[in-house]
Each structure stands twice: as structure tokens, then as C-alpha cells.
Amino acid sequence: MTGDHTVLVVDDEQAITDTYSELLDDRYTVEVANSGEQALATLSEGIDVVLLDRRMPGMSGDELLEEIRARGVDCRVVMITAVDPDTNIIGMKFDEYLVKPVSEQQLREVVERMLTRDHLDQQIQRMVNVASRLATLETKLDYEQLECSDEYDRLRSEFDSLRAEVTLPEETEDEYVHATIEKLDALLSERQ
């Protein structure tokens, strides 16, 4: 079975890519690669989440991560590795880091978190863009000018529509989502 989202599993151990694929293919379209080079050949804008091992012969997971970001591929990357994190991960641009072994539940939950973050980020980015334009107009124009501006009215309507569309979880254990919600709340309170 395939889903609306695509997950790329990258690990040099065939047993791991097979296992992760089996655990996820009931909900997602799953692509597998057993090397960094093979992953680059598979990589496309259609990939939503990459589950990436760090230690692989040839191109390492660290190098592949750098290449994914350098190419500007819009996907979430989760490092799933036997390498315990150290200060060497500080500059790495992954979205989450899990140490093997991971359970089926952990695997499914991390993919869902990545997809939730991606959707939430897109909604918030649109809202921030519109709110920023509104804030600029509100600081540069006086009340009478704003009242007479069709563009301002259009932006206000667009912002109100976006705000109504954004469904933020009331409670979340995902620290990233929690921090994002706090930023959005701060932005909204500044506008009022």
C-alpha cells in the first residue's frame, strides 16, 4: 500500500532498509537506498522524509545530509544510527536524531512528527509573510490611509483566512512544534 507521502530509507544494511520499509509501507510510499550514492540517484522533490544512517561505506550519512541540504531538497531528515550523538552533530542540519535500535512505534512516530512539522511550517510561513506585510503597512501608514486601502483590506482578509485555517495542536510533546507555536503566538500578540 502507498500513501500521499514518500519516505526514503537509507542504510547500507539491506535487512534494516527491508525492515523499515515493511513497517512503513502500509502508510507511506517507501523508497530504499543502500548507499549514499544510490540515495542521491533516488532523491527528488517528491521525498518528504529521509531516514538516514550515519555510517555507510563510500558516501557517509553525514556527507549525504550535506548534499541533500546543498541541493535544496525540501525534505525532513532523521538520522537513525548506532552512533551516539556528540558535539560533532552541532552543525549538522538534520531534523531529528535517533539512536538504534528503534522500535516500530518510534519509527512511525518520528515520521508522523516530521510530516506534522512540515505542514505546520508551511502554514506558519504563509501567515508570517502576510503578517509581516501588514505590520509594515501598519507602521508606515496612518489609520485613515489604511482605511482607504483596498490592498490593506485584502491582506487583512488573507491573514484572517490563514489564521482560521491554521490548526495548531493544543498540547504536544514535540518540542519543535511547541516552540513553533510559541513563536506564532508571539507574532500574533505583536500584531494586536
Residue 112 lies in a domain: no
Instruction: Clarify whether residues 93 and 10 are in a common domain.
Output: yes
180 has a pLDDT exceeding 80 = no
Residue 122 lies in a domain: yes
Instruction: Clarify whether residues 77 and 155 are in a common domain.
Output: no
139 has a pLDDT exceeding 80 = no
Give the pLDDT band (50/70/90) at residue 65: very high
Residue 45 lies in a domain: yes
Q: Is 126 exposed, middle or buried (0-12, 13-18, 19+ CB in 10 A)?
A: middle
Q: Is the pTM of this model over 0.85?
A: no
pLDDT digits (tens, 9 = 90+) for 2-16: 569 999 999 999 999
Number of domains comprising the chain: 2
Strands 29-33 and 49-52 come out as: unpaired
Last residue in a domain, options 102, 133, 156? 102
Instruction: Clarify whether residues 122 and 83 are in a common domain.
Output: no
pLDDT value for 1:
45
